[in-house]
Amino acid sequence: MERLQVWPERFKKFFLNNKFVVSLLIILLVGINILVFSKVPFIFKPLSVLLHTVAAPLLLSGIAYYLLNPLVDRLEKRSKIKGRMAL
C-alpha cells in the first residue's frame, strides 16, 4: 500500500518539476496539434473563412478608433459636444 502512494510523488518529483521534460512535453503536444490540423483541414476551413471575414472589419475599426480618438477629444474640449455627438 505504501509503495502505491510513492509512485505519484516520484512522478511529480522527477518529471513535472523538471523544466526540460515539461518543455519537451509542450513541444510534443504542439507537434501533435499541427499534425492533426494538417490531416483534417476540411474541418477548419469554415472557421478560417469566418475569421478572415470578421478580422478585417475589426482591425480597420480599431485603427479608425485609434486615429480618430484625438479628434474626438479635441472636439469635446473646444465645444460642449459629448463624445458620441462629435462623430
Residue 86 has pLDDT above 60, yes or no: no
**Assign residue 18 a region: left if phi > 0, alpha if psi is -120 to 50, beta otherwise?**
beta
Mean pLDDT (whole number) for 44-73: 89
Domain boundaries along the sequence of the chain:
1-39, 42-87
Q: Sign of dihedral through CA atoms 37, 40, 45, 51? A: negative
Half-sphere exposure of 21 (CA within 13 A, CB side): 8
Q: For residue 2, what pLDDT band results from cuts at 50, 70 and 90?
A: low
Distances (CA, A) of 37 to 16, 23, 42: 27, 21, 9
**pLDDT digits over 40-58, tens only?**
888 878 888 888 899 989 9
pLDDT reported for residue 65: 92
Cα gap 52→41, rounded to integer Å? 16
**pLDDT digits over 5-52, tens only?**
677 777 777 777 788 888 999 999 999 998 988 888 888 788 888 888
Contact between 57 and 64 (Cβ < 8 Å):
no
